[in-house]
């Protein structure tokens, strides 16, 4: 069965003012470079760049020669961010029907598109009600404004709560060699059982961000595997994720061409079973029980 979304997904959080501050031409080039490396799915959230990055991406897409049908656009709603763009007194979540619908319509205008391939609820709220969410999603789907619906950062019980009224097809979670709790807390088990598509943000974890005993062990182990697989460390880290039977789609946040190319190359690496566990042992600091 062909994939609805590219196996590697481009995360756009750092494309705008929260990161590289790319201009329109740079965004056009980056979108094209992703497509050249078989990355056709782009992950957004309304809050990225204090509610500005969607519009910047939309402007770039409109000025490019890219056909909308060639790419898939994901966005998220629900977080009311404490920034300069909205008069929020405090960061909070809003999953009332009218807000979800309004947020999607704003994202469509900003992204200059008639539909979203995926809408995700960004983070769970203690006040969300599945019937309220269902009413919004049903209306948006009937109007052709969203194709798929899912959640992000939800526990199994939170996912069950929402799916009691509206089917969930995607759960985007944090998952990496340095943050792999989803393998043990039931999240990935539920994903497999219910045939949910998993997407993993921050797939390289803290390996290149922090110098700790854990990341030092991981670097030593990856160094030992580089020659065997003729691969870079970032390729091996993604290959480790891709080995999981849940069939995870890594969401890479890089804007670096080399890292994008490496991510595509990771798809060709099949870690041997014991090598996968060697990397896990390096992360955990002990053999499996």
Position 34 in a domain: yes
Q: Which phi and psi (to 5°) does residue 41 adopt?
A: -105, 130
Position 249 in a domain: no
Distance, CA of 256 to CA of 10 (rounded, Å):
11
Structural contact between residues 156 and 175, judged by C-beta atoms closer than 8 angstroms: no
- Considering its fold, how many domains does the chain have in total? 1
Both tokens of 144, joined, read 């052709």
pTM metric for this prediction: 0.96
CA 29 to chain centre: 21
Q: Residue 266: what pLDDT?
A: 98
Q: Is 229 a catalytic residue?
A: no
- Which residue segment(s) compose the domain that 69 sits in? 9-168
Distance, CA of 200 to CA of 251 (rounded, Å):
6
Position 45 in a domain: yes
Three-state DSSP at 27 gives helix
Q: Each residue's pLDDT tens digit in the chain (289 positions)? A: 568 999 999 999 999 999 999 999 999 999 999 999 999 999 999 999 999 999 999 999 999 999 999 999 999 999 998 888 888 999 999 999 999 999 999 999 999 999 999 999 999 999 999 999 999 999 999 999 999 999 999 999 999 999 999 999 999 999 999 999 999 999 999 999 999 999 999 999 999 999 999 999 999 999 999 999 999 999 999 999 999 999 999 999 999 999 999 999 999 999 999 999 999 999 999 999 8
Structural contact between residues 155 and 147, judged by C-beta atoms closer than 8 angstroms: no
Q: Residue 218: what pLDDT?
A: 98
CATH number where 82 lies: 3.20.20.100
Distance, CA of 235 to CA of 90 (rounded, Å):
39
Position 29 in a domain: yes
Catalytic residue among 5, 48, 51, 229: 48
Buried b (16+ CB within 10 A) or exposed e, 175-185: bbbbebebeee
């Amino acid at each position: 069965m062909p994939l609805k979304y590219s196996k590697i997904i481009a995360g756009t959080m750092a494309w705008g003012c929260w990161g590289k501050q790319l201009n329109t031409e740079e965004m056009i080039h980056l979108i094209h470079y992703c497509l050249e490396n078989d990355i056709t799915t782009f992950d957004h959230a309304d809050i990225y760049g204090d509610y500005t990055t969607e519009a910047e991406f939309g402007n770039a897409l409109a000025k490019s020669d890219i056909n909308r049908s060639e790419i898939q656009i994901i966005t998220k709603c629900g977080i009311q961010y404490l920034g300069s763009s909205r008069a929020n007194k405090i960061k909070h979540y809003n999953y009332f029907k009218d807000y979800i619908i309004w947020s999607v319509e704003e994202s469509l205008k900003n992204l200059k598109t008639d539909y979203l391939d995926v809408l995700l609820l960004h983070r769970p709220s203690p006040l969300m009600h599945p019937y309220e969410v269902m009413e919004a999603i049903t209306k948006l789907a009937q109007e052709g404004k969203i194709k798929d619906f899912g959640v992000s950062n939800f526990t199994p019980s939170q996912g069950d709560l929402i799916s009691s009224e509206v089917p969930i097809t995607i759960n985007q979670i944090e998952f990496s060699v340095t943050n792999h709790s989803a393998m043990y807390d039931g999240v990935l088990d539920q994903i497999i059982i219910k045939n949910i598509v998993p997407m993993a943000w921050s797939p390289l974890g803290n390996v290149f961000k922090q110098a700790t005993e854990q990341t030092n062990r991981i670097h030593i182990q990856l160094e030992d595997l580089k020659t065997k697989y003729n691969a870079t460390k970032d390729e091996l880290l993604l290959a480790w994720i891709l080995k999981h039977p849940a069939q995870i789609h890594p969401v890479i946040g890089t804007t670096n061409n080399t890292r994008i190319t490496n991510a595509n190359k990771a798809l060709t690496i099949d870690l041997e079973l014991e090598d996968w566990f060697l990397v896990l042992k390096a992360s955990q600091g002990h053999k499996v029980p």
